[in-house]
Amino acid sequence: MFEIDKVQHRKIAISKRRKIYEALQREEYAKRITHFFNEWISGQKSVFVVALYHPVNSEINPLSLIEYLNTKDKTICLPMVVNEKQPLIFKPWRPGKKMVIGHYGIPVPDNDQTLIPDLIICPLLAYDSKGMRLGYGGGFYDRTIKYLRRNKQVKYIGLAFSGQKSYHDLPSEVHDVPLDAVLTETGMDYFQ
């Protein structure tokens, strides 16, 4: 039952996100999320390695955050799918460095290094007031967070447009991991 609900929610959320994305003033959005991110991360003394993502479709482009992190001497990494049933791995990357096409046609860093992030910033289709995230259905981030948190307290933040918030609870299952917060153009929403 939940998977049918999730499929329907995904269709609605993709359409909603696409409409927001098409109407977006990208430069203003980038300034706002960077401002709120700066306020938050300046208090995070244990965050050195930050995982972001390469955007596809109408996902929010995290480039302004990547550029900001470059100025703060943080190590940036991007996720890579190894296998559909395994956690993601993270490879270091800086703007301008070579990338190759990985699974699902998503560019990934062209190197053999892997890192364990202190903070994972992920895309999403929708989120709710409990911090539940609706993704594409592969379970990659849920699996990864559970795996990494066996040995380390990794922070888990979604990057979204404020209009992606669902004002009713999203369908969730026992394997779904709630976000710690969501960063939008209106600030940080905290859940835990």
Please state the domain count of the chain: 1
**Whose structure tokens read 């929708």?**
126
Task: Give me the pLDDT at residue 141, please.
Answer: 96
CA 156/CA 132 separation, integer angstroms: 11
Task: Give me the pLDDT at residue 20, please.
Answer: 63
The backbone torsions φ and ψ at residue 125, rounded to the nearest 5 degrees and listed phi first, read -95, -40
Regions of the chain with pLDDT less than 70 = 1-4, 10, 12, 14-26, 192
Quick one: tokens of 162?
């404020």
Among residues 69, 108, 64, which one has the least CA distance to residue 89? 108
Provide the domain limits for residue 137.
2-190
Q: What is the CATH number of the domain that holds 92?
A: 3.40.50.10420
Task: Give me the pLDDT at residue 86, please.
Answer: 95
Task: Give me the pLDDT at residue 172, please.
Answer: 87
CA 101/CA 141 separation, integer angstroms: 19
Among residues 124, 143, 113, 150, which one has the least CA distance to residue 53? 124
